[in-house]
Structure 1
Amino acid sequence: MILNPDHVTIAVADAEAAIGFFALLGFRKDHVAAIDGGIPAQYMGMPRMKAQHITLVLEGSKPRFEIQLLEFDPLSGTDPGAHPTNLRKLGFNHLAFRVDDIEATTAHLVAHGVVMLSDEMDYIGRKLRLFEGPEGITFELVQREE
């Protein structure tokens, strides 16, 4: 059912420093988007969220693996927001698993009592959905259009 890890998202106070650090490990900047409300913010359960979303790709990785950075505005701590799994905190944000059938995997998880945190979203060539995991961690399913 799970194919492989897809990405890890980390909320950071200094995106440029984080980009430099991950470059040392072979990651390159691939995509940058400003989130100012809208569908991505609603998907994460923070409709007024403002952040830079920076996708770093591990060079040569097959299958593709990403680290996604979130730099909130204002920084976390000055506006903690309210979300069941606290996606605004600095540090670890969520773990994403790549799947081949997001609808079937969602149905399987929900049937076993796993709490779904978002509706499905189509974003940058992929279908996404958030769930609540053990100890309140957030995890995401990702189905890529490849």
Structure 2
Amino acid sequence: MITGLAHTGVCVPDCEAAVAFYRDVLGLRVLSPPYVMAGDAIRDDMGQLVSDPTMKAAIVGFDDDGDRVLEVIEYLGVAGGDQRSAAAITDYGLSHVGLICEDLDATRAHLEANGVRFLVDGVADVARVRTTWFVDPWGVVFILVEKSRPQRPYFAQWG
């Protein structure tokens, strides 16, 4: 059976630019720098999904956080589109990625100073977490979460 969450894939038009954003603006660590994946193995994996699955990929995440990472993917032989930027948060499918921070106000101020576009005007307090929402340059929606009880998972803050 399924035993954990491995990664969330983010498709971008420029892998290096995306890695720089996630590293320099969001503060994620580059766990595996951009590299090209091509050949029979990637065709066996994704050839039925993508006409040319040749890609440049990287992994970004956090120290000691195991498999919960972002896989940043640029398909080299197939053009993508920006349909996600027109998607509503209520559309079916992946809606957002949650990121934990220790000081929501300072984190939001840092991101705003770096040109990050926020989707809400301020910060909300709900179920003993503080939250605010933003979007990356490629239309992926993120929620920042500051836990009131850092030792507990975010979903167990209440009670």
Q: TM-score, normalised by structure 1?
A: 0.43
Which structure would you say has the larger RCO, counting Cα contacts within 8 Å and 6 or more residues apart? 1
More strand per residue: 1
